[in-house]
Amino acid sequence: MELLMEGARLFDVSASYQMLLVSRRLPGMAVRDALTKISLMNPREVEDVLLPSKTKAVKDLHISPCDGGLVLFASLGKSLAVLSLESNNIVLDYDLPAAAWSCSWDFHRSHYIYAGLQNGTLMVFDMRQTVKPVESLNGLSSNPIHTIQSLSQKNTDGPRSILTASSIGLSLWNVDCREERSAGSNFLRKSGSMYANVSDIRLPRSAIVGSENQNRFFAFGDEATNEVALQELPSFSTSQRFKLKKPPLRDIKYTVAMNCGLLTCLGDDILQVFSRRQG
State residue 204's pLDDT score. Answer: 78
Radius of gyration in angstroms for the set of CA atoms belonging to the chain, rounded to a whole number: 18
Residues, the chain, total? 279
Residue 256: which pLDDT band, with cuts at 50, 70 and 90?
confident
Residue 185: which pLDDT band, with cuts at 50, 70 and 90?
very low
Q: Which residues fall within 8 angstroms of residue 118, CB to CB, at 6 or more apart?
A: 98, 99, 100, 101, 144
Burial class for 17, CB neighbours closer than 10 Å (0-12, 13-18, 19+): middle
110 contacts 64 by C-beta, under 8 angstroms: yes
Structural domains in the chain, CATH included, are 51-189 (2.130.10.10)
Hey, what's the torsion of the CAs at 170, 174, 178, 179, to 10 degrees?
A: -50
Compute CA 149 distance to the chain's CA centroid, rounded to the nearest angstrom.
Answer: 9
64 contacts 76 by C-beta, under 8 angstroms: no
22 contacts 11 by C-beta, under 8 angstroms: yes
Compute CA 70 distance to the chain's CA centroid, rounded to the nearest angstrom.
Answer: 14
261 contacts 209 by C-beta, under 8 angstroms: yes
Q: What is the DSSP letter of 52?
A: P
pTM of the full structure: 0.87
Which residue in 216, 217, 243, 210 sits closest to 228, CA to CA?
243
Asked if the model's pLDDT at residue 175 lies above 70, the reply is: yes
73 contacts 83 by C-beta, under 8 angstroms: yes
Any idea which of 49-63, 91-105, 132-146, 151-165 has the lowest mean pLDDT?
151-165
User: Pairing state of beta strands 206-209 and 79-84?
Assistant: unpaired
Any idea which of 53-57, 89-93, 173-177, 224-228 has the lowest mean pLDDT?
173-177
